[in-house]
Every structure is written in structure tokens, then in C-alpha cells.
Amino acid sequence: MKQQILTNAEVFKVSSSTGSDITQALLKAFTSACQSPSASQVVIPKGEFKLGEIELTGPCKAPVEITLKGTVKADGTTKHGKERWVVFSRIDGFKLNGGGTFDGEGNAAWRVNNCHKTFECKKLPISIRFDFVTKAEIRDITSLDSKNFHVNVIGAKNMTFTNVKVIAPAESPNTDGIHVGRSDGIKILNSMISTGDDCISVGDGMKNLHVEGVVCGPGHGISVGSLGRYGHEQDVTGITVKNCTLRETDNGLRIKTWPSAACATTASGIHFENIILKNVSNPILIDQEYCPWNQCNKNKPSTIKLADIRFTNIRGTSGNKDAVKLLCSRGHPCENVEIGNIDIKYSGADGPATFQCSNVKPKLVGTQNPKACSAGPVVKTH
């Protein structure tokens, strides 16, 4: 059935010479495809092209597929515009593929980016945004050197990423690989993410996320949160991360919430399993005292409730002695946290590795290395 759809699809080619600006040509081709009564395909050929800020918006009359074979390059200057470069919006039955590259040309912008240090900053464009797309398949695409987040997903339903590559230097700020939030039913499969911030970050309102076969590093690991920075945040539920590898990341598997949170939501049903660690700092971390650059009041405990969290079959090496840190809120101690078969080795001079607990009493299954809740636990039961 799929083969028949592709065969019968109307094809709109973006024809332009290498090095030219294809913004208007792509917009024209997409508009025609979107109005087609049958499934259609937009093809960007091999070559290198300039692409300005563009929003490709539905609803469309039938499914649309965009095949990027070449490389599209953003403006490489540091000018601050809208918080977007390429936006795919309100399309039902959307495909993006082709083996091509979105080059965000972020190098000059990173030097002036201070958004990781202050609320008061000028936003840089996210490379690729998916806003309210449904039944979407993203595969065989590379995002290179984004100025801000590489990929941002909001309001999506039933969306799959497969064989996506994200590439930026370890020192590039705020270049989260794939950020998802307020969506239902997202899969991120068999992908490679090397960047300067979280490889995958999960925002509020995310339901039913499945991450499998992802290689992460460098970067800040795989993070749920931060949660609680803003008011009116929505609950997070049904997060599964399995069969992944983290290499040389600043954090591993992390859940982070703000103290003095602006809302009182719940994050639950979060499962990490079968994870390989290679020199990962802070391999397992629940941090309900997340307060970068002292932007909050640490004296007020986090009002974000964490429940039904499981770390199973996590093994490898740690880059520091803090192998496991479960720092839960004294206002809302973590509930039903399970630690099963953990084997994390650390060979530094300040060793051995430690396992710290605060305001949580984890359920222990199988073996734990390091020994669970060593180094003076402060456990609050309820």
C-alpha cells in the first residue's frame, strides 16, 4: 500500500543552482504539494543551498513528503530574529527524509549566546520545529551546528524519528538535540546525537515517549525536565528509554525539577532500562534542587511530584564518584522509585563511587554497585 502511494505521488521539485537561495522556491513547491488532492512529494536535490527563515504550514489536502537530498544552510550571522529557522506546522501525514542536512551555521552565534545563564536573553532560532504535526515520520536526516535547539517538537501526535543524526561541538550552548513537549506518542529510534546540551530533553505535557537505540555523546545526557520553571505546566507520563549508549556525557539519565517551582505537576511512569555508560559524569541523577546560575530560591522545596520511576540494568563507567544521586524534594518525597541491577564502576583517586539518597526510599531489586544509599543517606519516609 505504501509503495503504491509513493508511486502515485505528485512530485514537486525545487530546482535551483547550487549555492543559491531556495527559500521562495521551496515555499512555492510546498504550497502546491499541500493543495494537491492526492499524496505528494517535494524534492530538494543534491547540492548546497541557502535557506532563509521558512514556515511550511498545513492543513494540507493529503499527506506530504519532503525529501531533502542536499544541504540547506542557514544565515551564519549572529543577528537575533524569531526563535525559528525551519518550521513544519499543522500537517497530518507528514514525512521528512532523503539523507540530507540542515546546517544551522551556529558557530558565530554560540559566542554571543548567554541563555543558559540568564532568563533575560535574546533568543536564537531553533533549527527545525515541528508544531502540531500528526502521523509523522522523520528519517535519514542530519541536523548540524544549530544556533539553539536542533529539533523542537510541540503538540505532536504519533511521530517517529529514525536514523536521525544531530551534530554540534560539546561546547556549543543550548543546542539540545531533540526536545519534546506537550505531545503524545513519540518514538526516537536508532539515532546518533552529539551536541553541547541534552541529547534528548523532555518538557512538560509529554505523554508516551519511547526512546530506543540512541547513541548520545558528547552532551548533557537524556533529561526529563527541567520542570517547574514556568506556571501552568502539564503532567509528564509514560517515558521509556531503553537499549541506549551514553558516551562521555556531562550527565547520564537525569530528572530535574526547580526548587521554588512555579507550578505543582507530576512526572510519573519514567523507566530507564538496559543502558550502557562510557565515562559518564553523574550517570543516574534525580535532581529536585536544579537551580543553574542561582536563578531560583533553593530554600523552597520543589513542588513537582515524582512517582513510579525505574532504573534497571544500567552498567558501565562513571566520570566522577557520584554514580547515583537521588535528590528528591523534602516537600514532595519521591514515590515508588526502583533501582534494579546497577553496575557502575569508577576508578578515580577520590573513589570509590557513591550512591546518595535524599527524601526517597528506593526499592532495590537484584544487585547494586555501588551499594545503595551509601555516603550518609538522608531518607525521609512517608
Residues 6+ apart with CB under 8 A from 243: 212, 213, 273, 274, 275
User: Where are the alpha helices (H) located in the chain, listed in sequence order?
Assistant: 2-8, 23-35, 107-110
Degrees to nearest 5, angle at CA 126 with 166 and 256:
75
220 in catalytic set: yes
- Burial classification of residue 292, based on how many CB atoms lie within 10 Å of its CB (0-12 exposed, 13-18 middle, 19 or more buried): exposed
CA 324 to chain centre: 22
CA 302 to chain centre: 23
Tell me the three cell numbers of residue 109: 552565534
Candidates 179, 220, 271, 332; catalytic one: 220
Specify whether the CB–CB gap between 212 and 243 falls below 8 A.
yes
Tell me the three cell numbers of residue 117: 545563564
Q: Which residue, among 313, 314, 365, has the nearest Cα to 336 in the 3D structure?
A: 365
- Taking only Cα atoms into account, the Rg of the chain, rounded to an integer number of angstroms, comes to 22
Question: Which residue reads 507528514 in cell numbers?
Answer: 94
Degrees to nearest 5, angle at CA 51 with 48 and 53:
160
Q: Among all residues, which ones are annotated catalytic?
A: 220
